[in-house]
């Protein structure tokens, strides 16, 4: 079975380390805030000017003035800071973010990413992605492995205009966790019940498959 959005966020949360400053992009990455391990201390950043983002609020906690970059209401953890988006982007461009988690339309085997939004849709333009991929060295890209038409999003070369070149080193899809090394996708883990053959079939770029590819395990 393919991973749910929540399971993808849970898997990304395992990559968080104590003391990290982490930028969460729009979409699946925002869900990571709900799954930060209790035994580590991280500061989640939203590009609109919030450092110290907490989990999503309950009905009683909703504050319409407290939102993330995707216009979703969020909470703030103790020690949080609110500042202008200009200062937020200065933090991003200055390389002060330890980990960036963002979505994409396409990623290729050379670490290129295409994440421009489609004109006329709800979200327009590339948002902060161009700054994030240029200012961060540690990036996890979350996406579906294939389009709704079954076309692979993990390519030999991106078809869409690039948001960044040679900047992506890790990809988590609804089918697998992969790392990009030496011009190829390296399969590290697969979603529970998903076969290596299915991942191979839906990966258009060069894919290296180790002798053993473990299944991801999620607690009940």
Residue 47 annotated in active site: yes
Query: In terms of Cα–Cα distance, which of 172, 120, 174, 187 is closest to 14?
Result: 172
Q: Is the dihedral of CA 173, 175, 180, 183 positive or negative?
A: negative
Strands 106-108 and 113-114: what pairing?
Answer: antiparallel
Query: In terms of Cα–Cα distance, which of 150, 131, 151, 147 is closest to 139?
Result: 131
Q: Which helix (H) or strand (E) holds 198?
A: helix 196-201
Backbone angles phi, psi at 139, to 5 degrees: -130, 135
Out of 6, 15, 17, 47, pick the active-site residue: 47
Catalytic residues: 47
């Amino acid at each position: 079975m393919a991973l749910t959005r929540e399971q993808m966020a849970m898997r990304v949360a395992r990559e968080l380390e104590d003391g990290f400053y982490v930028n969460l992009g729009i979409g699946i990455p925002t869900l990571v805030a709900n799954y930060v391990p209790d035994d580590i201390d991280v500061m989640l950043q939203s590009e609109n000017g919030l450092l110290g983002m907490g989990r999503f609020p309950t009905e009683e906690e909703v504050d319409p003035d407290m939102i993330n970059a995707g216009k979703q209401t969020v909470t703030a953890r103790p020690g949080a800071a609110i500042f202008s988006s200009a200062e937020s982007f200065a933090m991003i461009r200055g390389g002060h973010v330890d980990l960036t988690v963002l979505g994409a339309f396409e990623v290729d085997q050379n670490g290129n990413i295409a994440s421009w939004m489609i004109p006329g849709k709800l979200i327009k333009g590339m948002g902060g992605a161009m700054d994030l991929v240029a200012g961060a060295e540690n990036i996890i890209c979350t996406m579906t492995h294939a389009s709704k038409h079954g076309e692979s999003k993990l390519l030999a070369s991106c078809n869409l205009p690039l948001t960044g070149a040679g900047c992506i080193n890790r990809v988590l899809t609804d089918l697998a966790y992969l790392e990009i090394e030496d011009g190829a996708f390296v399969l590290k883990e697969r979603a529970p019940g998903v076969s290596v053959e299915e991942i191979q079939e839906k990966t258009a770029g060069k894919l290296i498959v180790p002798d053993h590819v473990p299944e991801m395990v999620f607690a009940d």
